[in-house]
Amino acid sequence: MTAVPRTTATSPCPCGLPAPYASCCGRYHSGAAAAPTAEALMRSRYSAFVVQDAAYLLRTWHPTTRPPGIEFDAGQRWQGLEILEATEGTAFHTKGTVTFRARWSYRGEADSLHELSRFERYEGAWVYVDGAFA
């Protein structure tokens, strides 16, 4: 089994923003803060896949569409996130969408995921509802 690359508090955040992990998505993962926008939640969820934080992914998934669990594949490596479009999803909205492309490799073979994700506020916090491949 291949080890997951270690992300530390001072590592660049996997989401691609120019900030260390601890002050970017790490603060959402730890529960120190909540993602203020749908885009911030999308970025933090991508980072959670990178660092394999299943608890955060499940906590930020709408209860009506949340799976019972998440399994990570040891052969998969997330390699970059590109936000293509975000609509609504701010402090002034209750719904929003984010279209993104996430690059990954599986056992050395490169690929990408292109998705239009839907987000809603649930009990005051942004949560992921579902997505459609774009």
d(CA 122, CA 85) in angstroms, rounded, equals 22
- Give per-residue pLDDT as tens, 61-96: 999 999 999 999 989 999 999 999 999 999 999 999
- Report if residue 12 sits inside a domain: no
- Report if residue 43 sits inside a domain: yes
Question: Can you give the residue range of the structural domain that contains 51?
Answer: 21-133
- Report if residue 74 sits inside a domain: yes
- Report if residue 15 sits inside a domain: no
In Å, the largest CA–CA distance within the chain is: 45
- Give per-residue pLDDT as tens, 91-110: 999 999 999 999 999 998 99
Give Cα separations from 134 to 76, 100, 104, 116 (angstroms): 21, 9, 16, 6
Tokens of residue 18, six digits: 């120019």
**Does 5 have pLDDT greater than 80?**
no
- Report if residue 13 sits inside a domain: no
d(CA 25, CA 73) in angstroms, rounded, equals 22
- Give per-residue pLDDT as tens, 28-61: 999 999 999 999 999 999 999 999 999 999 999 9
Question: What is the domain count for the chain?
Answer: 1
How many CB atoms are located within 10 Å of the residue 71 CB?
7
The CATH number that applies at residue 39 is: 3.10.450.50
Is-above-0.85 flag for pTM? yes
How many CB atoms are located within 10 Å of the residue 108 CB?
7
